[in-house]
Structure 1
Amino acid sequence: MNRYDYKKTRLNTPFIEQRADPFVLRHDDRWYFTASVPAYDSIVLRAADSLEGLRGAAETTVWRAHESGVMSKHIWAPELHLIGGRWYIYFAAGEKDDIWNIRPWVLACEGDDPMKDPWRECGMLKRADGDDFSFTDFSLDMTVFEHNGGLYCVWAEKVSVARKISNLYIARMKDALTLDTPQMLLSSPTYAWERHEFWVNEGPAFVRHGDRIFLTYSASDTSPAYCMGLLWADADADPMDISAWHKSNRPVLV
């Protein structure tokens, strides 16, 4: 599509402008929204009584980047999750002196209201004992989901195999701050539509519907070739059983 030659409709009009990596959560009839801001220097939240209400809802800045050191640059892709009755925000961040040293970090809310109560830094997500790989390179876009009594996370991490490749990895979690298992490779950019300019799988998002669980993800470079892929498994499957997952050989959104 030529971005200068299309008819604007309700479906292709931005829901909230100047926000990247959007994340929406519904809890107790309240809707919450967070996303990357243009300066990549803070984390903001919105809340409303309806999904549509998020469009014009006021934003609250719940955390700001450090002046230097860790968590001082590229504050990306925050996600808000309620785990064990407590609110957490997962996000990626780098350093002003090493801007691509991107790793996953966690905030915890010290009260019941994520919009009003203070947030505490919990540090970087902790690897499982014996895991010497997770978060050793450019790691971002972590998402967390509960399924059949277990807590899991999926994230994107780069590896060097003749070239830099961004894969998706999955791990079971011991708690909201710690992995319980070493990572397992969930998806790698194997199709041509995942390899435009850069070989990328990133931005995973979990959805459960009917008798299946789904994981969407973004693929290729962030040009007009950027697209969305899809993984799925049966709802009664073990998410850590990689053979239970299926991958679409075509993008589901372009």
Structure 2
Amino acid sequence: MLFRMLSLLLLSSVSFAQTFTNPLLPSGPDPWSTYVDGYYYYMHTTGNSLKLWKTRSLTELPKAETKVIWTPPAGGPHSKDIWAPEIHRIDGKWYVYFTAGDGKSGDNRRLWVLENASADPLQGSWEMKGQLTDASNQWAIDGSVFEHRGKYYLIWSGWEKKVSTDETQNIYIARLKNPWTVETERTLLSRPELPWERNWSNTAGWKPKIPVLVNEGPQFLAHGKKLFIVYSASACWTNTYALGMLSAKDDADLLKASSWTKSQEPVFQQSAENQVFGTGHNSFFKSPDGKEDWILYHANSASDQGCGGTRSPRAQKITWNKDGTPSFGKPIPSGQAIPLPSGTR
């Protein structure tokens, strides 16, 4: 009898070790990660600095090595509202792309770039390379960089131009000359035109003085011969903050708007049944063995919690439809056991 109990306890511990639960951290809006040489480097919005996590598994973030790698100056154009950071390894150097403003006006938010030549981004020094902008120099947030067929591209959320009647955030793309310089004019890929993209009042009845119509947080995903840009739509303070998707062929001209097809319905959205609300600002990562694709996103655990610190990072596996498009499923409830990404050790 004792032997059987010990065996059951051992099996239980093994089973527990092979799963994880969401959320990955109690708080962490706009989660991002990259996998380099056996480590995941993870970042999320803190608002007042750039903090980096280093871990063998994203499911072990609470135990990860962490460091604040950059603190903004007291004043100036990149001193406040430090949002949506992403760390990338490009041509042997590390780059962090982030949103910042001067704190005087929300109209002054732009994209910025830091560089570090150290092999380990938790070591060495971070140099400000400056603002990352196309010729329009319009309001811009949520910059993300990806490589395709030997060329690097920037995708972001921005205004067409400043107007007083509303704030409309669109998705743009441009090609990069180098990691801190835009080479081409921007191309408009998506604007918030579908009904589910245009929610800006929460269920409690709160809304800003003018409409805020949102496409933001664009992220690149490739699979087979198809390319995707997955973005967040509707205002982040609504429960209906959800993911939309643009699709293109891998041999298309990515700077032509006609190369991209927009999904007419959200591809990932809240689940009141599972108590997951405001699903958005995602990124993607591979399992350690490279065999699985996963989505990393933030969400709230209760209705109308808005855009604050209650947003927590969560992960779940992506499956693929027969036509080569991703299937994200429904948000998994907090506390439900999820098998670890394959190759996790």
Do Structure 1 and Structure 2 share a fold, with TM-score over 0.5? yes
Equivalent position amino acid for 1:34 in 2: M
Identical positions, percent: 38
Q: Secondary structure at the match of 1:89?
A: strand
Alignment CA distance shift 1:140-1:117 (3 Å): same
**For the Cα contact (< 8 Å) 1:110–1:120, is it kept in 2?**
no
CA distance in 2 between partners of 1:215 and 1:241 (Å): 14
Question: Which residue is 2:43 aligned to?
Answer: 34
The answer as to whether partners of 1:166 and 1:201 remain within 8 angstroms in 2 is: yes
Q: RMSD of the alignment, in Å?
A: 1.7
Contact kept? 2:187, 2:256, Cα under 8 Å: no
1:80-119 aligned at under 5 Å gives the runs 80-119=87-126
Matched, 1:63 2:70: yes
Query: Which deviations, in whole Å up to 9, do the C-alpha atoms of 1:33-87 show, x marking residues without a partner?
Result: 00101xx110011111223233431321000121111211100000001111111
CA drift of 1:28 comes to: 1.9
Contact 1:43-1:75 at 8 Å conserved across structures = yes
Q: Distance in 1 between matches of 2:26 and 2:251?
A: 38
Q: 1:164 aligns with which of 163, 167, 177?
A: 167
> Helix, strand or coil: the match of 1:20?
coil
Q: Residues 31 and 54 of structure 1 are in contact (CA less than 8 Å); yes or no, is this contact kept in structure 2?
A: no
* Larger relative contact order (Cα-Cα within 8 Å, sequence gap ≥ 6): 2
Counterpart contact for 1:73–1:99, Cα < 8 Å: no
Output the TM-score relative to the length of structure 2: 0.66
Query: 1:220 maps to which residue?
Result: 234
Matched with 2:300 is: none
Structure 1 segments, 4+ long, off by >4 Å, are none
- CA deviation digits over 1:184-227, x for unaligned, max 9? 10111110111012311000111111211111100011110111
Corresponding position of 2:82 = 75
Query: Which residue does 2:128 correspond to in 1?
Result: 121
Structure with greater helix share of residues: 2
Alignment of structure 1 residues 182-197 onto 2, 5 Å: 182-197=185-200
Aligned equivalent of 1:239, options 241, 245, 254: 254
Distance (Å, rounded) in 1 between the aligned partners of 2:29 and 2:220: 18
Partner of 2:25: 16
Q: Choose between structure 1 and 2: higher strand proportion.
A: 1
Match of 2:265, SS?
coil
Q: Secondary structure at the match of 1:52?
A: helix
Determine if the alignment matches structure 1 residue 208 to structure 2 residue 222.
yes
Shift of 1:179: 0.8
Q: 3-state DSSP class of the match of 2:255?
A: coil
| Structure 2, unpaired ranges of 5+ | 1-18, 201-211, 270-345
Q: Which amino acid aligns with 1:166?
A: Q
Q: Matched residue of 1:53: which SS?
A: helix
CA contact (8 A) 2:24 2:58 kept: no
What TM-score comes out, normalization by structure 1 length? 0.88
